[in-house]
Structure 1
Amino acid sequence: MQANRLFFVKTLFTLFLIVGILSASFAQTIKGKVFDRNTGEALAGANIVLKNTKYAAIVNIDGSYTIKAVTPGTYTLVVSIVGYQSPQETTVVVKEKGITVVPDFQLLTNAKSLVEVVLVGTADKRSDNAVRNIEKNSDIVQNILSEKTIQLLPDVTVANALQRVSGVTIQRDNSGEGRYAIIRGMAQRYNNTLVNGIKIPSPDDKYRFIPMDIFPSEMLERLEVIKALTPNMEGDAIGGTMNLVMKSAPDRFLFSANVSGGYSTLFSSSRPFTAFDHSTINKLSPSEIRGNNYAGTAGDFPLNNVHYTNRSYPVNSTMGATIGDRFLNKKLGVIVSASYQNFYKGANSQNLIQSAQPGYNPTGNTPVFTDAYERQYSTQTNRFGIQNKIDYVFNSKNKIALFNLYVHQNEYQTRFTPDTTVGTNSSAASRSVDVSYRSRWQIQDIYNATLQGDHQLSSLVKLNWSAVYSIAKSQVPDMASYNFNANVILDPSGKVTRVDSTTYGTGMHRIWQRNKDQDYAGYVNLTYTPTILNTKVEFETGGLYRAKTRDNFYNDYSLKAISTTVQPFHSIDQIGLAFSPAANGTGAVTAVNANTYTAHEYIAAAYIQAKFMLLKQLQILGGLRAENTQQDYTTVMPSTFDAKNGTISYVDLLPSVHLKYALKANQNIRLSYFKSVSRPGFGELVPYILPGEQFDEIGNPYLKHVQADNLDLRYELFPGHADQLLLGAFYKQLQNPIEYFVTRNGGPSALFIQPGNANNATNYGFEAVFTKYFGKFGVSANYTYTHSEVTTNKLFYHYVAGTGVTTDVVSQTRPLQGQADHVGNLSFLYKDPKAGLDVQIAFSYTGDRIAQVSQYYNLDTWQKPFSSLDLSFEKRLAKRFSFYAKINNLTNEPNRLYLKTAPSVINQSFSGGYTIPYQTNANYTIVQRDSYKLGFLGGFRYKF
């Protein structure tokens, strides 16, 4: 019986094998591609069927399709896709051997011309293919992320999406979220931000650059990073320009919506999210409510915002929707897009606080640490964005559009510092403990309204103009911080045995701060396109005028404990607080601060440029831009205060020339030169003094603006569809670069952080971008090498035999602050249109870079290389519904700051055998380590 069963199984297996071989012998493969006839774009998702058979396929992202196991014979192959003309057919003869290759299908859209309306192309503007065409045909060097790419990325803000662009790194906040962009090693001050080509103001309290995390990424149609400026572009971008192109009205009805939820694994029952009550916070300080001569009392400061509650596993959530259509015979286009995000994030941080004055023993410029602590951040961020665009096409020669954008962000942050373990009174047997809390609510808003017109005045003359109103605001009402102090007694093993009898509350700070930038601007551009010597030449001229008003307010109240006698460890409610002395403490408004000021800036610019084909393949674009800058500021300080007010003016001439040589239809070589500038922020020019944790900050009224000469060379290959290969090099020569220094202001121990101009600096590097799809699989990679040099004077504090302790001035060459030598991204993609599945694994790497420049030789603070591994995917569940997920920081990569000094050298400066904590390497000293943990988000999307 067993033998018969075994014989039956063997026979059945043999029959199956024979049938398989015979089927393989008579079943062949059909391959081909499908494109848009007008744009050459791959029509991913198109349906391929062999008529009256079961054989079918879906077109891949690169336009290819494959039908396998087809029995030899003659078939009718049919291709169809929504939005294109009736299904096309062709006859296919499948032979017994070999692969049958079908000629490419070139489909036409269903779009029809309208009366007096010209619709240029109807290709999907959201796709990778569309932005590849923009990059190829552009006059400038740029990199672009499409809407579809942004949608699939693991990122939900523009800041985090920017790190995927070649040559771009991000500066993270203390919750690990990206905030500012660094382009080609140039810090955020050297870059500017546009929305639909229009510059917008910043809500930052000191700087011009914009926190890019305020923009939800789903509101964008594409994200452009422009790396070379033409004369018709504003000249204040040395590193690059970020242009946020918002969604525009579609050619037909569009509706999409999404909702998602998730959480950060940082928060649990053992490490809960810590929140505070902000509902009773007064947005006006006591002096604003009761008058400038009012000296506040403890009763003016309610304590609700320093009462804390814990939440385990708080839920993150997002919602978004877009709706748009065209009306009145397609002349009127309307689109509205909105997004809401609410996130709970944070960090666990280990920190060493470095003394402003280094030690001279044993080697000179030895770091000295006054505190070590572990700190917990809990940050709730909710942001809301809404934008709409209305355009009306009068006829083929006249069009007008109105764009509105509003973004709003609330950030509620609790900072809890449990203790300190190093201090001036620390020893092997006793250590200082300092428990502190800080509650901070920041409100940021940006609003922009732009009215634009495009007019074809004649066959040779075109005019476009823009009238712009923008306002950016930030407010930090009643930021509250307080702390307790004590000494703990240790046993010989280092364990805490008891708290001594000097526990007391040391005081509380309350700060009100707000600022507002308001812009009125007008742009006009006139284009004339005559034919000269049988060559069409495009002349363009125009300019802009912008009037900016900036208001800044700062009010700081410092309350001390009435008594510092013995008290048990308790809450802030049990400490008596008052100003000391009550009559003229820092709470009295008579102690004014120069950080309360009003400033103005007037920019007038004009340019002229020409573009023409010198040869059949060589395009030249060049010209000159002139920008006049007029600035003034007035502080609330008395007339006897040095630099109470000031005025600044200068003119910049900014030439540029751009050569574009077409080797083939899909290959370019570009060579560009342009001159650009970077203006200091108002908060850097005003002579304010603000308290900080390590150093107080002071402004610099004599700060100069930065100028730079820029060179770019790039080879471009666009094989088709979403594929690309870009190889480029760049060189920048900066005059008067702005760096932040630790500097003296008064006595030898009066050290401050202050912006200053360094000597000339150079910055150069190499970029490579590669994207390739192989059917359903794709790889996208970019790498940037950057090297910069700036030489500045540093202090060397050391001991000289026979002389004693002395400070020498020495010269040091180092990289620019924020510049990383190596930056790279690598993504593996899988796109299956038939299954409706998109998957992306994204890896991002940023190398060593200086985080903080020190005034002392070899004491700069560096950031260790940082990498992140993220995963995202989207799966179609039904015709219009899909499920998506985004998982961030799979490897739980910490952010680490360090000094290039061995811990063993630093430990020699401590007595009693004490050694600094948190060290894992004998070659360098970790001064900060932030851990963020993994976060994920999952939700549903609907598209019509």
Structure 2
Amino acid sequence: MRKHLLVLLMALTSVVAFAQKGTLTGTITDKDLNNEPLPFANVLVKGTTNAVTTDESGKYTFALEAGTYVIEYSFLGYETQTENVTIVSGETVTVDKVLGAGSYTLQDVKVQAQVNRQKESSLLLEQKNAVEIKQNIGAQELSRKGVTDVAAAVVKTTGVTKQEGSGNIFVRGLGDRYNASTMNGLPIPSNDAEKKNIVLDIFPTEIVEYVSIDKVYGSKLYGDFAGGNVDIVSKEHRGKGTFRIDIGSNANTNAVSENNFRLHASPNASGFGMTKKPSNSLTQYNYETLGMDTKSPFGGSIGISGGQSWNVGESGKLSLFATGSFSNEYQSITDGQANGSISPTGVINKRYDSFDSFNYATNTTGMANIAYKINANHKIKFNSLFINTSDQQTDEYRGYIVDLANDGNGFVRINTFTKTSLFINQLLGEHKFTDRLQLNWSGAFNNVNDDQPDRTWNTFNEQANGFTINSQSAPNNNRYFQELTEKEYNANISVDYKIFKNGDSDYNGKLTLGYNGRMKERDFAATQYNFKATNTHLGDIVDPDNLDAFYNQTNLTNGFFEISTFRGSAQVPGATRPQTYNGDLDVHAAFGSIEYTFNPNLTAVLGLRGEMIKQNMEWDTSLSPTGQNELTKTAILPSLIVKYSLNDKQNLRFAFSKTYTLPQFKERAPFAYERATQVYFGNPNLYESDNYNLDLKWEMFPTSDEVFSATAFGKYIVNPINEAVVNSSTNDISYLNSGDYGYAAGIEIEVRKNIFKTEETNSKRLSAGLNVSYLYTEQELNNDKVAAETNLNVDFTDSKSAFTGASDWLGNADLSYFTEWNQKRANITATVAYNLFSDRIYALGTQQRGNLVDKSVGTLDFIIKSKLNENLGIGLTARNLTNPAIKQVQENPNGDVLSQTYKKGTGISLSLNYTF
């Protein structure tokens, strides 16, 4: 009896206590995203641990004692606001919040919302609600997967892969010339004379809020588009002031195992010093040392970042985010072989049975992002980014060279130092004049200097008593100086105007009109000084590690060797005049689109863009003295995107567009660039391709951080551009409109799934991600077309072929476990990630030779990161754990012949960060 009375008393006490409380409930939705619910918005009683978050439907409910409280409202990292709120006992207060850009009143609570696209759930929500078809990867996912640069980031998305040994990104099997790179929506220049796009691995993820990959064309994008557009969105400060220090160390198993990690002694370790082209270079020996240094191959990194915000007036806010970092890294290639000039029968004219490579790279980055929010409707942002990278590499080849080392006793050493400085300055503005009218504008000035100061190339024959210099041809021993400067000006302006009013404040349509301008100038100059030993000194024994003992002023004066350029010796007027090419590109575009919501489930965007393009080239090179060429095009580019919501969790999307692919400066400049086993040169008669693109996508979002999607796509390309071996004695590679047509079709599947998670606290979860792509490509190869349109001749081995750079299969998979404790102040995230691409063509085969093919490679990474408390974090990353062999073969009729193979080693890095 007493037991029952006790239970009844407790129940009555609970009822009385509850009656003394009030209930706060409601739904939070997003006005700018069709009033979709906002999951995980926070409502907190400040000074206590009493808090709730909205569920997947944007709903929240909790009880509070009667009284007045300071309530803190935030959403996914949005700018936090605090206000006094009065709760009345026994009453339920319903607050349905509609968040959009700017300020909104929640009864007594005022909330300012800004989107935080660093989080995976926020990016998935944006992907779900956007009309366009795109993929985003944010800072949170980059950290979880141990990604340290933007190139590694985009490779983690569906249908994207990276070419080994380069920064080349392939989107849906389409390589560098078919893709585009932007930052905050503005084009950025290439930092490589041989590339259209900037090498994405120079961008550390510390500067990134998120990376967006557009695979479907819309009228706001430049029309030079076929594979995808990679947009890097720079980090902006939000919330409380922060200051963070990061330090790290790294090592490569190949480099650590090397007893003698060799590099050219001339460049310095900072990545900033640069050897200048010597004066009196043909008559005096004013060159830097040819000596070699032995290094201790252990790298590291240090970085600082921080941000602060200040209120300006009643509604303004000034925010600053800045970061600076320096990192260096050592890598070595082992178990290497390299072959070149392979005949159709498999005869190898350059057979290097031993290939070693030693690499030291640095990256120095500084960025400042200043945002001034004048009020809820007007915002201006200035972004300035400086990146200096250096890459110092020593490649050593030993083996057989026809007519130079027929006994297999050849030894070639190439020391290459590349230094790149990139300076990006952007000013962007957003202005909302009324609920219907918004103006967006932006402008940029970018500058790139890409230099190869003093690449040294030396060829030897190993004899019984030592090494002799091989000088049968003057270029066998040379020093090469290359300078590239590129300046670019960009301007964007667009106006959005809502139309077709359907109520008090909603509109069914939006009209967008705008202008884009891009003006780019490139100046390129290169000089190669050849050092030919005279006949009486061809047999002199030299030490490859101390060539200064042979190449010096005394021996030049005494006639041991002679110095010349491709123009001749010192006796030839203008012999030191460099090879040059200069390129100008002007693109002026007007665009418009109309977006219309037919009903809550169906939205379409119809766009039209017109571009006037002019690309002018001038050159003076060894292949073509004093020439000029101009390419002009007027492009009319329609696009259509349709989104149909099957329900609140599933969408169907359709897209169609026409675009083009413009040849790049280096592809049209008749300048020859020599590598150890291959020579590349441009084709002035190259012209643009036209592309027709079609996409159909289904996607489902079971929860806020899960997605299932399947995409079918097709592309038809008129006059596709390819790399191919042309008919020549040295089997050089050039760039050709190789046929009348080509097409690509494929399927992409993406899955992000929580295997389990604790529903109430979300403190433990196991999640998995998988994206798989299948791609089929085919193109016509037409010898007669090439002969009729150029002064080059080719003899394609096949009449049809797959696209260069296109893998049939691409896959990425990851498995992550997350747990947190100590009231969510500490956590651990462990991730296993795997990337795979199948065989892909590197260059098309000619003259009965097969295609050069990169063989399939899979890489396995492991990442573990821990936040020990609110301030201290540590991490361990192991990349390329299985260390597979990287192979390239020439597919000949009698079987594959190895072109190149090596192993990259496993990279291990440790990191430590502290946030004040």
Q: TM-score range by the shorter chain?
A: 0.7 to 0.9
What is the DSSP-based 3-state SS (H/G/I as helix, E as strand, rest coil) of the residue aligned with 2:869?
A: coil
Q: Does 1:770 align with 2:751?
A: yes
Show the counterpart of 2:122.
130
Single out whichever of 404-413 and 532-541 deviates more from structure 2. Answer: 532-541
Give yes or no for contact 1:873–1:886 (8 Å, CA) kept in 2. Answer: yes
- Partners of 1:567 and 1:444 in 2: CA distance: 38
1:445-484 matched pairs, under 5 angstroms: 445-484=421-460
- Partners of 1:378 and 1:829 in 2: CA distance: 34
Q: Does 1:667 align with 2:656?
A: no
What is the DSSP-based 3-state SS (H/G/I as helix, E as strand, rest coil) of the residue aligned with 1:130?
A: helix
Give yes or no for contact 2:127–2:134 (8 Å, CA) kept in 1. Answer: yes
- Partners of 1:336 and 1:631 in 2: CA distance: 37
- Partners of 1:877 and 1:62 in 2: CA distance: 29
Q: TM-score, normalised by structure 2?
A: 0.81
- Partners of 1:456 and 1:87 in 2: CA distance: 29
Show the counterpart of 1:613.
597
- Deviation string 1:368-411 (CA, Å, 9 cap, x unpaired) is 34322312211111112222221222233322221111111011
- Partners of 1:251 and 1:236 in 2: CA distance: 38
2:817 to 809, 830, 836: 830
What is the DSSP-based 3-state SS (H/G/I as helix, E as strand, rest coil) of the residue aligned with 2:870?
A: coil
Give yes or no for contact 1:785–1:823 (8 Å, CA) kept in 2. Answer: yes
Give yes or no for contact 1:594–1:689 (8 Å, CA) kept in 2. Answer: no
- Partners of 1:480 and 1:228 in 2: CA distance: 44
C-alpha RMSD of the superposition: 3.7
Pair 63,335 (structure 1): closer, same or farther in 2 beyond 3 Å: farther
Pair 123,524 (structure 1): closer, same or farther in 2 beyond 3 Å: closer
Pair 151,509 (structure 1): closer, same or farther in 2 beyond 3 Å: same
1:151 to 143, 147, 156: 143
Give yes or no for contact 1:44–1:833 (8 Å, CA) kept in 2. Answer: no
Show the counterpart of 1:844.
835
Show the counterpart of 1:219.
207
Q: Does 1:781 align with 2:778?
A: no
Q: Does 1:335 align with 2:304?
A: no
Pair 867,298 (structure 1): closer, same or farther in 2 beyond 3 Å: farther
Letter in 2 for 1:881: L
- Deviation string 1:195-243 (CA, Å, 9 cap, x unpaired) is 1111111121133211111111221111111111111221112000001
Show the counterpart of 1:761.
742
- Deviation string 1:342-367 (CA, Å, 9 cap, x unpaired) is 111121252342326x25xxxxx544
Pair 344,500 (structure 1): closer, same or farther in 2 beyond 3 Å: closer
Letter in 1 for 2:496: T
Pair 794,865 (structure 1): closer, same or farther in 2 beyond 3 Å: farther
1:415 to 392, 395, 398: 395
- Offset of 1:583 from its aligned partner? 12
- Partners of 1:663 and 1:166 in 2: CA distance: 23
- Offset of 1:874 from its aligned partner? 1.0
Q: Does 1:376 align with 2:380?
A: no
Show the counterpart of 2:175.
187
Q: Does 1:730 align with 2:713?
A: yes
What is the DSSP-based 3-state SS (H/G/I as helix, E as strand, rest coil) of the residue aligned with 1:129?
A: helix
Show the counterpart of 1:885.
876
Pair 106,822 (structure 1): closer, same or farther in 2 beyond 3 Å: farther
Letter in 2 for 1:779: A
Show the counterpart of 2:330.
344
Letter in 1 for 2:652: I
- Offset of 1:695 from its aligned partner? 4.0
Show the counterpart of 1:549.
521
- Deviation string 1:609-631 (CA, Å, 9 cap, x unpaired) is 10001233110101210111112
- Offset of 1:279 from its aligned partner? 4.9
1:655 to 623, 627, 638: 638
- Partners of 1:36 and 1:325 in 2: CA distance: 29
- Offset of 1:836 from its aligned partner? 0.5
Give yes or no for contact 1:829–1:838 (8 Å, CA) kept in 2. Answer: yes
Pair 650,219 (structure 1): closer, same or farther in 2 beyond 3 Å: same
- Offset of 1:560 from its aligned partner? 1.1
Q: Does 1:573 align with 2:556?
A: no
Letter in 1 for 2:420: Q
Show the counterpart of 1:322.
306
Show the counterpart of 2:161.
169
Single out whichever of 451-460 and 535-544 deviates more from structure 2. Answer: 451-460
Show the counterpart of 2:610.
626
- Deviation string 1:272-320 (CA, Å, 9 cap, x unpaired) is 321232358864323xx45xxxx61351323x2x211222442333434
- Deviation string 1:251-287 (CA, Å, 9 cap, x unpaired) is 332333321112111123644321232358864323x
1:234 to 222, 226, 242: 222
Pair 312,592 (structure 1): closer, same or farther in 2 beyond 3 Å: closer
Give yes or no for contact 1:253–1:326 (8 Å, CA) kept in 2. Answer: no
Show the counterpart of 1:27.
none
- Deviation string 1:793-838 (CA, Å, 9 cap, x unpaired) is 479xxxxxxxxxxx97764322111100010011110011225111
Pair 230,809 (structure 1): closer, same or farther in 2 beyond 3 Å: closer
Q: Does 1:714 align with 2:697?
A: yes
Q: TM-score, normalised by structure 1?
A: 0.79
Show the counterpart of 1:931.
903
Alignment coverage as a number of residue pairs: 809
- Offset of 1:934 from its aligned partner? 1.1
Show the counterpart of 1:812.
799
- Partners of 2:816 and 2:308 in 1: CA distance: 30
Pair 840,85 (structure 1): closer, same or farther in 2 beyond 3 Å: farther
Pair 545,85 (structure 1): closer, same or farther in 2 beyond 3 Å: closer
- Offset of 1:124 from its aligned partner? 4.6
1:394 to 374, 381, 385: 374
- Offset of 1:893 from its aligned partner? 1.4
Give yes or no for contact 2:460–2:467 (8 Å, CA) kept in 1. Answer: no
Show the counterpart of 1:908.
none
Show the counterpart of 1:491.
none
Show the counterpart of 1:13.
none
Show the counterpart of 1:865.
856
- Partners of 2:477 and 2:197 in 1: CA distance: 32
Pair 582,784 (structure 1): closer, same or farther in 2 beyond 3 Å: closer
Show the counterpart of 2:15.
none
Gaps in structure 1 of 5+ consecutive residues: 1-33, 65-78, 89-104, 360-364, 488-498, 796-806, 906-922
Gaps in structure 2 of 5+ consecutive residues: 1-24, 31-36, 59-70, 75-79, 86-94, 758-764, 785-793
Single out whichever of 781-790 and 385-394 deviates more from structure 2. Answer: 385-394
- Partners of 2:489 and 2:876 in 1: CA distance: 41
Single out whichever of 872-881 and 702-711 deviates more from structure 2. Answer: 872-881
Letter in 2 for 1:552: F
Letter in 2 for 1:647: E
Pair 277,46 (structure 1): closer, same or farther in 2 beyond 3 Å: farther
Show the counterpart of 2:189.
201
Pair 484,709 (structure 1): closer, same or farther in 2 beyond 3 Å: same
Show the counterpart of 2:18.
none
- Offset of 1:84 from its aligned partner? 9.0
Letter in 2 for 1:573: D
Identity of aligned residues (%): 20
Show the counterpart of 1:536.
508
Letter in 2 for 1:393: K
Letter in 2 for 1:181: I
What is the DSSP-based 3-state SS (H/G/I as helix, E as strand, rest coil) of the residue aligned with 1:232?
A: coil
What is the DSSP-based 3-state SS (H/G/I as helix, E as strand, rest coil) of the residue aligned with 2:174?
A: coil
- Partners of 2:180 and 2:265 in 1: CA distance: 36
Give yes or no for contact 2:282–2:564 (8 Å, CA) kept in 1. Answer: no
Pair 162,249 (structure 1): closer, same or farther in 2 beyond 3 Å: same
1:297 to 283, 287, 295: 283
- Offset of 1:445 from its aligned partner? 1.8
- Offset of 1:123 from its aligned partner? 6.3
- Offset of 1:186 from its aligned partner? 0.5
